[in-house]
Amino acid sequence: MSIVKIQAVCGFGCGSSLFLKMKIQDILKENNLEAEVFCGDIGTCTTVPCDVIFTSAELAEQIMKRTAIPVVPISNFMNKDEIREKTLLFLSESLL
């Protein structure tokens, strides 16, 4: 199977998305998993090839209207448990 591509998205692609990207990478490392994680912005995220988009709950609905790519809303970027749960759930489902 090819490497899963995870896009972390925020409004401009360089603030909270970078924070989210680093949290996801930590979780992947802690669980001995591999994925490509990169940042994106709300304006162009649907044009960039990826397997899933992780974003804030506030932006998720806007993105879901523009793409068939799975979108994972994160309510609190500071809550590593929420990010871990949603990351591992997506990866376990994508490997089926």
pLDDT at 96 over 70: no
Range of the domain at 23: 4-79
In a domain, 48, yes or no: yes
pTM (predicted TM-score): 0.95
In a domain, 66, yes or no: yes
Count of structural domains, the chain: 1
In a domain, 46, yes or no: yes
| Residues whose CB falls within 8 Å of the CB of residue 83, separated by 6 or more in sequence, listed in order | 20, 23, 24, 27, 54, 74, 77
Q: What is the pLDDT of residues 32-64, one digit of tens each?
A: 999 999 999 999 999 999 999 999 999 999 999
* Angle at 12 (CA atoms; ends 62, 5), nearest 5 degrees: 75
pLDDT at 11 over 60: yes
Q: Is 83 exposed, middle or buried (0-12, 13-18, 19+ CB in 10 A)?
A: buried
